[in-house]
A and B are shown apart, each in its own frame.
Chain A
């Protein structure tokens, strides 16, 4: 079922989800995306550039954070614009991984075009890791 724009109110939570990232997730994303920067799979390389350890690809965090919106919208093609600012790293512990939580809220509703702006709050370890994370969803 496709959400109906006129049923929405700004501030409504439209979707919520949590994702557990492991080192396996990072290797999988490296292969799928072609981003083989070693800071995403080698602690020694990450530490050599001043990081505490391996961190998730920002593009992996961006990629998964929009999925609850895709599922809510009912079709990935409905996401017509998506932007984020990368504000904090997601460190992925070798044994316990990292839990990333997403809350998607109606941020703005354009009745004329039928486009909803969905704002994403993406957190790891109690702090947001993406800023101005907004997906525009065509519900027309």
Chain B
């Protein structure tokens, strides 16, 4: 089975809102060796002008994950999870993710390219807050290895 080229341009329904917990931000921060006080200490975060602890730049992947699960689970998508390798990743922020945020992610497949038997699937997850304002866009390119 190969990647369905008709996936290009497909927009998925928004996933269930993700509530960013302070302890989750701290846990994730420890896991990525983020030691800055603004990642861990609400007082330090407030002193810097933030409402609560600020998530590390790659935290958005936790919110994005449910959208990638949609993509990999799409019945007509033809993406075999066991052949997927993460090629590129990007996060573009309008504002940082702060503990207490309720975030909703919506995935769109922006490009599908075939290169020497492999498919490159680029998926953009647009993440907005409870007011609908943009927070971050997480862009992943997945390389799906072709059949041998």
Contacts and interface: CB of A to CB of B under 8 A. Distances in A.
Category for how many chain B residues contact A: 35 or more
Contacts of B139: 83
Nearest to B55: A76
Interface in A46-67: 49, 58-60, 62-64, 66-67
B69 to A, nearest CB: 10
Given A29-B31, A32-B30, A33-B61, A63 B89 contact: no
A82 B58 contact: yes
B54 A28 contact: no
A79 interface: yes
Contacts, number: 107
B33 A19 contact: yes
Given A64-B32, A67-B34, A70-B36, A32 B27 contact: yes
A83 B90 contact: yes
A25 B89 CA distance: 21
A109 B30 CA distance: 30
B58 A59 contact: yes
Contact of B58 (A19, A34, A63): A63
Given A58-B86, A60-B32, A82-B90, A66 B62 contact: no
A29 B32 contact: yes
A25 B87 CA distance: 22
Contacts of B89: 58-59, 62, 83-84, 86
Closest 7 CB pairs of A and B: A63-B32, A32-B31, A83-B90, A77-B96, A63-B58, A29-B31, A64-B33
6 contacts: A58-B86, A66-B56, A66-B57, A76-B56, A77-B96, A81-B90
